[in-house]
Chain A
Amino acid sequence: MDAVERANTERQKRWVKDQKVGEGTYAVVYRGREFATGRKVAIKKIKVGQFKDGLDMSAIREVKYLRELHHQNVIELLDVFSSKTNLNLVLEFLDSDLEKIIKDRTLVFLPADIKAWMAMTFRGLEFCHRNFVLHRDLKPNNLLIASDGQLKIADFGLARDFTDPGHKMTCQVITRWYRPPELLFGSRYYSTAVDIWSVGCIFAELMLRTPYLPGETDMDQLKTIFRALGTPTEEDWPGHTKLPDYVPVGQFPRTPLRDLFTAATTDTLNLLSKCLIYEPRKRIGAKEALHHAYFFALPYPSHPSKLPKLSNNTSSRPLDEVDGNVDMNASGPGVKASAPNRLKRKLSSPGDELGGRPLARRLDFTQKRS
């Protein structure tokens, strides 16, 4: 026991707590740094004592799974130590999350950005699933963004590993707006498909910039889902009427996704609809999703360093100035930055008098010619 205590204090010395940045139901989060290197970390202090039987379940879950999972797109647990009566988790410091980015109206998402975020989410999730871990609380709020743009799945407080056959799981998981219909109907036996539904909702939210299925109560959530995607028939989802908490909530017709996502490509909607299939067994898997045509189609996913970031006041200023300049010389190059190729074409071929062709054409030995 003595050795353990000594080791613990040694560990504790490695980290320095700075200021408090947030407080959750079962933990307080501090900003901190590594004593030796000065690397920024987040220290999550778990409150102990207010629970009768020891540690809070979610803290145990978080440690249990994060200790095992090491992946580019999963938050890293650097260390665990205790202080007085508290348990401290040392986590990677990540300064923003996808929810903040979605809410920041000054940011514009290109289709390539959404593709990059989705690819990173699926990659992280695939890693969890291949290690037999269900996350069970995916939402934009839990997808953190590192300073280099990498997206990391965080908050494994509700995670659990796959069950043995016939073992019940709780259905009271996943934030309501991202909860799949089988959990709303009280299914106690489920699988990776629950996480995929959440990712589908996040995907839609990235495009809409507002939650896709915001139900006010669990009942209303079902109604919201069915209103958006149509009430499932026995054919769509065999056996769903036998689920423990099944209640008919009314008949709604299916409206094509295209009506809401008017600007999305066919590939995009195809992937989205596969994430939001009612029958869980038919829902696309994370690995399968990563091989979906959507990710291979142009545009390529944005490089993480170019993804929209929360702007500090200092960084938004120069951008404004650039805008001003662009507006001043409206006929100059760079005005139509949204369609650079067309602009280039136009400058080299001055209009219809020349039949839209440049005067002299050079021999062309490159394979790529637009």
Chain B
Amino acid sequence: MANRTNVGGWLQGKTVRKGGITSTNAHSTRSNTPQVQSTSTTVFGGGVKDSSGRTSEYFSMDDQCPVCKSDRYLNPKLRLLVSSCYHKMCESCIDRLFTLGPAPCPICQKVLRKLAFTPQTFEDLTVEKEVAVRRRIAKEFNKRRDDFQDLRAYNDYLEEVEDLTFNLINDIDVPQTEARIAAHRAENAALIERNVQRDEQYAHALKEQEEIERQEREQRASEARREEEMEREEREKGRREIIDRLETSSKNAAKVIAKSRAEANKRSSARTAADTVLKSNAQLLRSRAAQSTVVPDVPHVPLQDDWYAYEDIYTLMSSYEDPYSEAVRKDREGIMRAGGYRVEEAWERALRSAVMGLDLLPLVGQGISDVDKDPSSQPDVVMAAA
């Protein structure tokens, strides 16, 4: 009774290793509830797996087989499995009814096979069914946003998928829905295949990354161990040294000890300093990345003022009648060009200086009178004074 009142009965489910039931005893020390035990020789696969690849099996003290009415009191090893029509049955019933081949379900008369029975994960069988349906649908309807031209098309597609799923879950127009699914499969076979491969690659990459991080952790741990070992050895050595020195030297014992203590301290502090520098790169990167989520980064803005909005004030010509720069432009030796000097820059400067103040209003008020009163605002004057 107590189990029923809890939310999500599968939380109390027992964990069965993917490979087989025989290994379940391995975790028996952890729990005080009886383990799921199988009386059948058949290994039933399927069921909903959690992220670690295990199947959590739903299990309750008032389980009763709807077919033979046997319950946990009569048969402590009772294990209920779910048929493809989502009816529960105990293992002995399954063995009895289906060992000789496909047979109708005793509840709904649908023809079932023995191997199509799966362990139960959720207390509510409609959830079990929904999960199975969604899993099946997701396998074939695996298009992504980038497979569509616009968001609208993608949303329409999601809507359609949801429709199909809903129909299957609630047994509405099943033949028609199946036909639609088959049609979709036929139409998009290549795309589905490609997306499956892409997902696999992604999962693979994820696994690889995990593996790399695991190795890194291990390496760090072993480094730490080695360091500890070294430190211990060093301490040991130091102690021996003190004893040796006390043996051989004629100095004051307290002085000798203090001296070697100081030496040891110096050594160990040098080591810790080195340690802080040698922090692993990954760790640093991690803390750096964790920092960088507070203020959002903004796209690059090349220039943050309107300087070049006034470019049209003048037009720089390709050449000018300019006796001053004639020698430069001729550049007989070619050294101006090689050095990167541009006479255009000089021209541009001259032009810009000429037009720079054209549309500025003359200075009035504070600025002018300030300068008048206070000639030292010109740094040159100050220098002259100095």
Contact = CB atoms under 8 A, between A and B. Distances in A.
Contacts of B287: 319, 322-323
B365 interface: no
A6 B170 CA distance: 94
B289 A337 contact: yes
B49 interface: yes
B209 A339 contact: yes
Given A359-B134, A359-B138, A8 B302 contact: no
Contacts of A82: 382-383, 385-386
A244 B338 CA distance: 11
A164 to B, nearest CB: 6
A42 to B, nearest CB: 17
B339 A1 contact: no
A96 interface: no
Determine chain B's interface SS by DSSP, over half rule: helix
B230 interface: no
A355 B383 contact: no
Which of B196, B304, B386 is packed against the most chain A CB atoms within 10 Å?
B386
**Interface band, chain B:** 35 or more
Nearest to B347: A165
B184 interface: no
A346 interface: yes
A306 B281 contact: no
Interface string B291-322: 11011111110111001100000000000001
A158 interface: no
A26 interface: no
Nearest to A194: B340
A240 B336 CA distance: 10
A182 B53 CA distance: 66
Interface in A260-288: 279-281, 283, 287
Nearest to B134: A359
B297 A165 contact: no
B199 A356 contact: yes
B180 interface: no
B341 A123 contact: no
Contact of B288 (A110, A126, A163, A192): A110
A166 B209 contact: no
Contacts of B341: 187, 189-191
Nearest to A283: B340
Q: Point out which of B51, B135, B287, B300 has the most chain A C-beta atoms below 10 A from its C-beta.
A: B300
Given A165-B343, A353-B135, A364-B154, A337 B286 contact: yes
Contacts of B213: 330, 335-336
A362 B139 CA distance: 17
Contacts, number: 239
Q: Which of A237, A337, A346 has the most CB of B within 10 A?
A: A337
B279 interface: yes
Q: B286, B327, B338, B339 — which one has the most chain A CB atoms within 10 A of its CB?
A: B339
Interface stretch (B21-29, B100-108, B373-381): B373-381
B333 A162 contact: no
B159 interface: yes
Nearest to B334: A239
A119 B303 CA distance: 10
A22 to B, nearest CB: 22
A291 interface: yes
B286 A193 contact: no
A119 B286 contact: no
A216 interface: no
A106 interface: yes
Contacts of A323: 283, 286-287
Contact of A287 (B206, B209, B292, B303): B303
Contact of A187 (B138, B340, B349, B381): B340
B158 A300 contact: no
Contacts of B346: 162-165
Contacts of B325: 165-166
Contact of B203 (A3, A244, A336, A351): A351
Contact of A192 (B295, B299, B308, B345): B345
A363 B158 contact: yes
B246 interface: no
Interface string B261-290: 000000000000000110101111111111
A142 interface: no
Interface string A175-186: 000000010010
Interface in A328-345: 330, 334-340, 342, 345
A52 interface: no
B345 A338 contact: no
A257 B343 CA distance: 32
28 contacts: A7-B376, A72-B304, A87-B386, A105-B277, A108-B281, A108-B285, A130-B307, A162-B345, A162-B346, A165-B343, A182-B339, A239-B333, A242-B334, A244-B335, A291-B302, A302-B297, A303-B296, A323-B283, A337-B290, A342-B206, A351-B51, A352-B200, A355-B196, A361-B158, A361-B161, A362-B158, A363-B155, A364-B145
